[in-house]
Amino acid sequence: MPDDANPRKRARTDRNDEGPGADATYTRGDLWYDDGNIILIAEDGVGFRVYKGILSQWSEVFRDMFTVPQPVDAEKWEGCAVVHLSDSSCSLIRVLRILFADENALFKRPVPFETVAAMLQLGTKYQIHHLRQEAIGRLEIYFPLRLQDFKNRFGSDWEGRVPGDGNFFPRVHDTIDDVAEDDIWTTIVLARALDVPALLPPSFYLAAQCLTPDVFREHIDEDGVRWSLSSDDIQRIIVGQEALRKRSIEFLDYFTDAPSPNCVERRTCAKELRSVRRDQLTEAHYDTSALIHATWVKNSDLCSTCIDYFVSHYEEERTKTWSELAVYFELKEVEWPVTDSTEDQTS
């Protein structure tokens, strides 16, 4: 069991017999097994004493690292071998707790977004494949790769959300705690840096739903990590917003004053179509949510035949919009829409 009696203890190695790093002063981290046989020291000097065998079981990188013979005078701490890592202690402890705790129990409950980010970053870096896959899977729930999944996630009740009100993302149980608008920027940065390009189109679309000034903001997460978009990606969002506004206007081309071919109330429906088009055209010039449900059609006073007819056309146009997301946001390197083979490449 880990020794938590004094988790923040300052530890100084014994310079008489502990090797060339004897002058170093480190901080004992929150995960410390007294019988552990390796100490991982984060970039900020926090150490975690764990087991080589478990790390080697999950990580090809650690397994190869531990096979390299160490010199006789290699640095030690309390007689235990030391490995210095370039990762922050915050990211490291989030991942180590998964590997050295009951991970099955962990994966059955939601985790902070920062934990998912650490899983993706360190899972990729140290080739801990199941962590990378789990992180991508959780992100895909909030940033769907397929239109039907997007429809299921962002239903008609999402249409009334207001950017910046703190309720941008619908809550999904057993995935990620309280995903916020700021986490969109993090997802874009992670997707680019860690080769998960399929996450980019849905991430950019959702970023385009935010207030334009927000995309210029720097986001500082709970671990103190600063996230911000590149100037190129900010420009892509602005360009994409304009493309989505044009699509919203194009949708209305179907809503002329001509009812459906089988309309049974042509005069009434023609009048309602003119009213619907007029009302929607006013908003369309500002509307970037070209993928929302056709609730406004279903709630109109058109006859049921016309509603079915125009909803069908609307869905066809929504499918076209989804297929062109990578084009709207100038994501030339992304294969979109996603196919089964594309999705397999993200793992």
* Per-residue confidence (pLDDT) for residue 195, from 0 to 100: 98
pLDDT at 14 over 70: no
* Per-residue confidence (pLDDT) for residue 214, from 0 to 100: 82
* Per-residue confidence (pLDDT) for residue 160, from 0 to 100: 54
pLDDT at 268 over 90: yes
pLDDT at 11 over 60: no
Boundary (domain end) residue, out of 50, 70, 87: 87
The whole-number average pLDDT for the span 241-270 is 89
Boundaries of domain holding 28? 10-87
Q: Is residue 184 part of a domain?
A: no
The whole-number average pLDDT for the span 108-128 is 94
Tokens of 33: 């097994």
The rounded percent of the chain whose pLDDT value lies above 70 is 86
Boundary (domain end) residue, out of 24, 56, 87: 87
d(C-alpha 144, C-alpha 179), whole Å: 14
d(C-alpha 107, C-alpha 115), whole Å: 11
CA neighbours closer than 13 Å in the CB half-sphere of residue 107: 15
Tokens of 196: 């998960």
Q: Which of 9-18, 28-37, 157-166, 330-339 has the lowest mean pLDDT?
A: 9-18
Q: Is residue 275 part of a domain?
A: yes
* Per-residue confidence (pLDDT) for residue 171, from 0 to 100: 75
Place of tokens 């990211």: 91
| CATH value at residue 67 | 3.30.710
* Per-residue confidence (pLDDT) for residue 156, from 0 to 100: 64
* Per-residue confidence (pLDDT) for residue 91, from 0 to 100: 98
Q: Is residue 313 part of a domain?
A: yes
The whole-number average pLDDT for the span 53-70 is 94
Q: Is residue 154 part of a domain?
A: no
* Per-residue confidence (pLDDT) for residue 17, from 0 to 100: 44
Q: Is residue 225 part of a domain?
A: no
> Apex CA 106: angle with CA 103 and CA 108, to 5°?
115
Residues 6+ apart with CB under 8 A from 336: 198, 201, 323, 325, 326, 342
CB 245 within 8 A of CB 284: yes
pLDDT at 275 over 80: yes
The rounded percent of the chain whose pLDDT value lies above 90 is 62
Q: Is residue 198 part of a domain?
A: no
- pLDDT (tens digit per residue) in 319-329: 999 999 999 99
Instruction: Give 49 or 252, the one with higher predicted confidence.
Output: 49
d(C-alpha 336, C-alpha 31), whole Å: 42
- pLDDT (tens digit per residue) in 297-306: 888 999 999 9
Number of domains in the chain: 2
